[in-house]
């Protein structure tokens, strides 16, 4: 049956207005929001790629995971970095607020440097130590930071210990032609790593319930056996064919200075800064030595001061005492603001880190950890060390020098600066960590604390200057090793003769310098840049200059290039 038609009234079409019809307004793109969204995406990508990094940042949900360092993984990783770089560059800097503008510049340089290193000298083909370090540090971080939650996080320790053999197997496949020097260091570190699983992790297993205890004990057995096998493989298979170049070369060295550290120096001008600092420090030491003992040279006085050190058993406690004294002084003199939940633990350097840490070092807490607990490593003399070598090593821990090292590593040095940085969770400022800022601030603190009266004993001042001499020597060695053909033995000799380091400690130092181009130079250059910035702030504020306000403003933005901090502080 046909449908009944409706009686529809005809509608006369409206006449068109002259000109085109008005389109609905398009909401302008919020570039700040887009950049922050991209930054979050990058952060999650990092943790997914390297779960141990997620743990170190204070995120326990990554505890039981490890990366999968196959050639295919690194190919995908490199491709993804290129994708992030393109996306960051596509966001116009002119459309961003100051914080995001700075982060965009940091992101571009960080990604460019990483991509260049992956192309020119990929670490997964050159570093034998990375294959045991990731699982080992992944376990170590949980053990040292978990606190009351440690029993709950045992599954992560079990999983990472169990994952170690597979990592080592990949190392055997991936390592092609690493530098012999890198393999030598890896063998030394690997012996410490084996001991870590065989002692520290086993002891932790004894604290667990029966089921988990058995799992971790079994994982330790396999890990220790795998480490033994890996060490033997490095010694008998990898070492004979390890002929890769460890020197950075001038072009790479300068690229890193310009792009990663963002400093107005190249290798040659940097060498001159080190040379100039060395000469001026020598003059200060000579004047001071005359006041201490007119009949002795500064070298003779320093040699005598080295003999006055704590015993090996007293060493960690002595550092802890001086660290607490420095903290009290900074508080009482209101030199810089303290984060609300910071604290620090002073412990002996683990065996796996001894080959590259001759004196002391600092490990920062994770970005997302509620309790900001830093770890202060002190390298004691290992059991079984021959007496002559042990005595020489302890001479690097003079009680007069410990005063300065403690403030450098803790208050107001690394610990205070890095826990302050953690108060602002801007991911690019945490994945980017320039040693020029970190070490420059800590070396600046050594001088500033002297000026403020923390130590007035001329013997302490002499050793502080002696350490500055060592840092100036580092600049010249860093440049010379990587751009001027200096040999390993020549660098050791220079440290002994020019900076008066003890031979075993000098060897440990140079081993690290060879593997970390542009890091050793960071101390002197960084301090120089901090002082330059301070001078600019004084010129801008005049009589209103406030030291605490300067310190707070300086360390409030993360461990990023000093030039970017100046931009954020709006000093220019």
460 to each of 376, 395, 457, how far by Cα in Å? 21, 15, 5
Check residue 5 and give its pLDDT. 40
Burial class (CB within 10 angstroms; exposed 0-12, middle 13-18, buried 19+) of 478: buried
Check residue 71 and give its pLDDT. 98
* pLDDT band with cut points at 50, 70 and 90 for residue 571: confident
CA distance 162 to 146: 19
34: phi then psi, degrees, rounded to nearest 5: -65, -40
Q: What percent of the chain has pLDDT over 90?
A: 88
3-state secondary structure 88-104: HHHCCHHHCCHHHHHHH
- Spell out the domain ranges in the chain: 31-120, 126-241, 258-569
- Encode pLDDT of 289-330 as tens digits: 999 999 999 999 999 999 999 999 999 999 999 999 999 999
Place of tokens 């931009």: 567
Higher pLDDT, 19 or 515: 515
CA distance 477 to 517: 10
Check residue 20 and give its pLDDT. 54
* pLDDT band with cut points at 50, 70 and 90 for residue 24: low
CA distance 48 to 84: 15
- Encode pLDDT of 459-513 as tens digits: 999 999 999 999 999 999 999 999 999 999 999 999 999 999 889 889 999 999 9
Check residue 23 and give its pLDDT. 64
Q: What 3-state class would DSSP assign to 344? A: strand
pTM of the model: 0.91
Task: Check: CB of residue 559 under 8 Å from CB of residue 438.
Answer: yes
Range 48-75 average pLDDT: 97
- Encode pLDDT of 385-438 as tens digits: 999 999 989 999 999 999 999 999 999 999 999 999 999 889 999 999 999 999
Buried b (16+ CB within 10 A) or exposed e, 81-107: beebbeebeebeeeebeebbbbbbbbb
- Closest CA relative to residue 265, chosen from 431, 399, 12, 436: 436
Mean pLDDT of the chain: 93
At residue 523, does pLDDT exceed 80? yes
At residue 2, does pLDDT exceed 60? no
At residue 79, does pLDDT exceed 80? yes
């Amino acid at each position: 049956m046909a449908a009944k038609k409706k009686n529809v009234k005809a509608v006369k079409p409206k006449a068109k207005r002259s000109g085109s019809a008005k389109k609905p307004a398009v909401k302008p793109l919020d570039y700040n929001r887009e950049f922050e969204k991209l930054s979050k995406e990058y952060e999650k990508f990092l943790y997914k790629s390297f779960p141990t990094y997620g743990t170190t940042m204070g995120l326990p949900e990554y505890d039981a995971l490890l990366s999968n360092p196959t050639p295919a993984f690194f190919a995908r990783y490199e491709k993804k970095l290129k994708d992030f770089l393109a996306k960051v560059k596509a966001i116009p800097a002119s459309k961003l607020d100051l914080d995001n503008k700075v982060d965009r510049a940091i992101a571009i340089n960080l990604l460019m440097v990483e991509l260049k290193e992956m192309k020119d000298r990929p670490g997964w083909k050159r570093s034998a130590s990375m294959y045991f370090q990731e699982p080992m540090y992944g376990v170590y971080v949980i053990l040292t930071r978990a606190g009351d939650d440690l029993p709950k996080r045992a599954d992560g320790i079990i999983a990472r210990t169990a994952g170690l053999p597979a990592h080592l197997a990949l190392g055997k496949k991936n390592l092609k032609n690493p530098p012999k020097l890198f393999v030598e260091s890896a063998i030394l570190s690997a012996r410490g790593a084996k001991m870590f699983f065989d002692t520290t992790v086993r002891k932790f297993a004894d604290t667990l319930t029966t089921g988990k205890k058995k799992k971790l004990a079994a994982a330790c057995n396999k890990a220790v056996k795998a480490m033994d096998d890996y060490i033997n493989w490095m010694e008998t298979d990898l070492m004979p064919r390890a002929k890769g170049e460890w020197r950075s070369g001038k072009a790479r060295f300068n690229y890193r200075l310009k792009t990663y550290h963002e400093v107005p120096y190249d290798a040659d001008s940097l060498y001159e800064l080190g040379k100039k600092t060395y000469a001026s420090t020598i003059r200060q030491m000579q004047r001071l030595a005359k006041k201490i003992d007119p009949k002795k040279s500064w070298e003779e006085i320093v040699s005598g001061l080295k003999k006055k050190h704590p015993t090996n058993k007293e060493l960690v406690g002595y550092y802890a005492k001086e660290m607490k004294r420095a903290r009290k002084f900074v508080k009482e003199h209101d030199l810089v603001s303290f984060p609300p939940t910071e604290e620090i633990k002073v412990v002996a350097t683990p065996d796996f880190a001894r080959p590259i840490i001759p004196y002391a070092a600092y490990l920062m807490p994770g970005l997302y950890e509620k309790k900001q607990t830093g770890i202060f490593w002190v390298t004691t003399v290992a059991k079984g060390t021959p007496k002559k070598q042990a005595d020489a090593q302890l001479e690097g821990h003079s009680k007069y020098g410990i005063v300065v090292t403690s403030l450098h590593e803790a208050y107001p040095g690394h610990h205070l600066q890095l826990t302050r940085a953690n108060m602002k969770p801007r991911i690019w400022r945490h994945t980017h960590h320039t040693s020029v800022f970190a070490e420059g601030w800590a070396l600046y603190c050594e001088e500033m604390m002297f000026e403020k009266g923390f130590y007035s004993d001329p013997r302490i001042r002499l050793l502080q200057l002696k350490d500055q001499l060592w840092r100036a020597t580092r600049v010249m060695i860093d440049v010379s090793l990587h751009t001027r053909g200096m040999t390993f033995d020549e660098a050791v000799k220079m440290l002994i003769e020019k900076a008066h380091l003890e031979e075993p400690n000098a060897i440990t130092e140079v081993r690290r310098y060879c593997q970390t181009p542009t890091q050793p130079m960071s101390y002197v250059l960084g301090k120089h840049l901090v002082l330059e910035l301070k001078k600019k702030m004084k010129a801008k504020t005049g009589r209103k200059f406030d030291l605490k306000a300067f310190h707070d403003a300086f360390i409030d933005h993360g461990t990023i290039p000093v030039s970017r901090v100046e931009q954020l502080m709006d000093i220019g």
